Structure 1
Amino acid sequence: MADAGTGERAGAALPRPPAMSDVAKLAGVSHQTVSRVLNDHPNVKASTRERVQSAITELGYRRNEAARALVTRRTGAIGVITEDSPLFGPTMTLIAVENAARSQGTYVSVATVTRWEVDSVQATLEHFLDQGVDGVVVIASHDEAVRAVKDYSRKLPVVMVGPGQVSGHIHTVAVDQYAGASLAVGHLLDLGHRDVLHVRGPSVWLDARARERGWQDAVLQAGIRPAEPVQGDWTASAGFAIGRSLLGRRDETPLPTAVFTANDQLALGLLHAFADAGVNVPREVSVVGFDDVEGSEHFFPPLTTVRPDWAALGRRCLERMAAAIERQPAEGVLVGARLVVRSSSAAPRA
């Protein structure tokens, strides 16, 4: 029952939401000018733009995105497919893409897959196609992801984040893992190390293989024959076990003077094993990682590592998505990384 004190009748129509014409009237401009301001058109005077934006704020105007999509055939939304994983690289990539999308007013819808199987990935792509997204970003960590997505770009604009380049119609964006690894190993070589061991990541991962190649080529170019890399995964537990194994054999095989690990978690486990055994890092062994995970400056000792430019990765991904939507020729883009030197690396003991 309606409150008699309000003077409102039960079932009375709700007030009409403000329209673009209301904004134009309040700002004293044309409907077309309001449209130009909403679409960030450059040919609008600053004073006019400010007047229109003030009217939008005062009225609480919100653009009808559904109507806009009918006209432009663009929803302003993209899908993102990533794997159901807590690993640092895929997580930071997702955050970078979301931040870049938000900065340009693009909405992101995220779907995770447990395994990169063709059927499940393509079902997710079909779901996004049904939603009418403008395109899909696939955060592709390893080979199965590339195979699952490779033939789908004719139906929907696709950008893959991870591979350096993929044949066909898929735009790609990736951190230059090879160059980053070269920076890490070059740092150790410049310090005077000639025995740089590599603890590698899983061989099915694109990043792991690129980082291994960067290590190997840097060592070979220095005229050094690289030792056989040690197989790890991405976990601190694996790094700890590898450290224990190296320590257990040191009566027969001396410890290397330096270790480059495929990621910071492996380095963390290695540092733990060395600390337990009383091995001084970096006086006896230098350790360098990759990723610059949150807290790596508080490892013991603070970790020298490689920091990818995550913000640039997100921006370049959205640039490639715009190109894919416009059906421009596919292109592969590499994003840089920089070395962060801390106290886990030093010149080898004389």
Structure 2
Amino acid sequence: MSTPTDAEPSRPAAFSRPAEGARSPDQGRAANIRDVARRAGVSHQTVSRVLNGHPSLRAATRDRVLAAMDELSFRPNRAARALVTSRSTTIGVLVSKGFEYGPAASLQAIDSAAREAGYAVDIAHLDDVDGGSIRSALDRLLAHGVDGLIILAPQAQTLGEIERLSITLPFVTVHSARERDDHRLSVDQSGGAVLATRHLLELGHRRIAHIAGPDGWFETDARVRGYRGEMQAWGLEPEPLLSGTWTAESGYRAGLALVEDPGVTAVFSSNDQMALGLMHAFRERGRRLPEDLSVVGFDDVPEAAHYWPPLTTVRQDFPELGRRCVARLLGLIGAPGSAAPAPDGTADDVRPELVVRSSAARIPD
């Protein structure tokens, strides 16, 4: 077993360029790695080892170097770091067009988790889901020297194109058609739909409609599967699907259609925005919520607690999803301190949570 050491590394340090924005108090210039070494009383090679997360350093030495960095407001130049590590410490994120709450929250979570791990995020937005647009976006990210990719494009067509391009760079996808795939991470969408549907069934509802998302989205298909599977598990026939586009307007249109069918006593909406439009349509037609109709949504957008009535919904843990995506990607990259992905390739899905509020109630006897 190796023991902690402060021995000098054989490779030359490449952090001698001025740090970004840092100033040396004695020389009135940007502090560099040698300034940090002098302040900490160590060699510049030891500072380089701290910057690169080398495991064989004594904790006291590492703390002394980190304290010196803080005192000098030292931030290593990213380009200089790349010369030493052959890594840019930058993650590329490919984002499909459309900015619904789920993808937007996932992107924010990925950015936060990447920054906590010391990585920058370079985002490429897709204008379309055709092969040319995807190749163009990937070429831009590769030209920037990203260490790996996160594919935040939950449409089947987009991920189909990605697979056909045979990417050799380490990558992780948020959602995939394959259940066993060591590149895939997601929230358990089907499991969340089961939670929503089961909650309404346990409240005594038997005719439960479902407003589905647009065709071609993995979330749409998974939530439909969960809804239908749970209805059938209770020996009930699922209602014909009502198609939406993730927007409140599409939920409103679905609500105008449903309000004409008094036999439907509950609705599971595939996202919270469509649930908002549905609730608007029912109130506009003089129907009471939840007395005449119970509603459950999906996502738990920040405004869901302030709908009237406050919306019962399925919460997705986007911060946890972002953390796992970044951790999985860094494992594939082989970044210092990261864990390799599970060898069996099983998807490490994030479990959703049912948030019970006031929009769903027990059916009157």
TM-score by length of 1: 0.88
1:333 corresponds in structure 2 to 348
2:363 corresponds in structure 1 to 348
Distance 1:61 1:266, change over 3 A: closer
Distance 1:153 1:106, change over 3 A: farther
1:246-279 deviations in Å (ceiling 9; x for gaps):
22x33xxx33111101111111111011111121
DSSP 3-state at the match of 2:159: helix
CA distance in 1, matches of 2:120, 2:164: 25
CA distance in 2, matches of 1:274, 1:103: 45
CA distance in 2, matches of 1:42, 1:346: 56
Cα pair 1:100 1:315 within 8 Å, conserved: yes
- Say yes or no: does 1:288 pair with 2:296: yes
Pick one of 242, 248, 252 that aligns with 1:230.
242
Pick one of 34, 51, 71 that aligns with 1:21.
34
Q: 2:316 is aligned with what amino acid? A: P
CA distance in 1, matches of 2:191, 2:296: 15
DSSP 3-state at the match of 2:133: helix
C-alpha displacement of 1:222: 0.9
CA distance in 2, matches of 1:60, 1:238: 51
DSSP 3-state at the match of 1:334: coil
Q: 1:215 is aligned with what amino acid? A: Y
- Say yes or no: does 1:152 pair with 2:165: yes
1:277-310 deviations in Å (ceiling 9; x for gaps):
1211111110000011121111111100000011
Q: Which moved more, 1:312-321 or 1:155-164?
A: 155-164
2:329 corresponds in structure 1 to 321
1:93 corresponds in structure 2 to 106
Distance 1:80 1:166, change over 3 A: farther
1:7 corresponds in structure 2 to none
2:337 corresponds in structure 1 to none
2:279 corresponds in structure 1 to 271
C-alpha displacement of 1:207: 0.3
Pick one of 250, 261, 278 that aligns with 2:269.
261
- Say yes or no: does 1:31 pair with 2:44: yes
Cα pair 1:171 1:331 within 8 Å, conserved: no
Pick one of 108, 111, 126 that aligns with 2:124.
111
- Say yes or no: does 1:242 pair with 2:254: yes
Q: Which moved more, 1:60-69 or 1:132-141?
A: 60-69
Cα pair 1:172 1:320 within 8 Å, conserved: no
Pick one of 135, 142, 146 that aligns with 1:133.
146
C-alpha displacement of 1:48: 3.0
Pick one of 212, 215, 219 that aligns with 1:207.
219
Cα pair 1:164 1:332 within 8 Å, conserved: no
Q: 2:83 is aligned with what amino acid? A: L
1:178-224 deviations in Å (ceiling 9; x for gaps):
00000111111111111111111112111011001000001111111
C-alpha displacement of 1:47: 3.8
TM-score by length of 2: 0.85
2:24 corresponds in structure 1 to none
Q: 2:43 is aligned with what amino acid? A: S
Q: Give % identity.
A: 44
1:10-58 deviations in Å (ceiling 9; x for gaps):
xxxx966433233222211233432333234455444433322232233
1:120 corresponds in structure 2 to 133
Cα pair 1:80 1:108 within 8 Å, conserved: yes
CA distance in 2, matches of 1:227, 1:172: 31
CA distance in 1, matches of 2:255, 2:35: 69
CA distance in 1, matches of 2:285, 2:300: 25
C-alpha displacement of 1:73: 1.5
C-alpha displacement of 1:158: 1.8
Cα pair 1:181 1:212 within 8 Å, conserved: yes
Larger Rg: 1
Cα pair 1:122 1:148 within 8 Å, conserved: no
CA distance in 1, matches of 2:280, 2:164: 44
Cα pair 1:77 1:134 within 8 Å, conserved: yes
Cα pair 1:165 1:332 within 8 Å, conserved: no
DSSP 3-state at the match of 2:64: helix
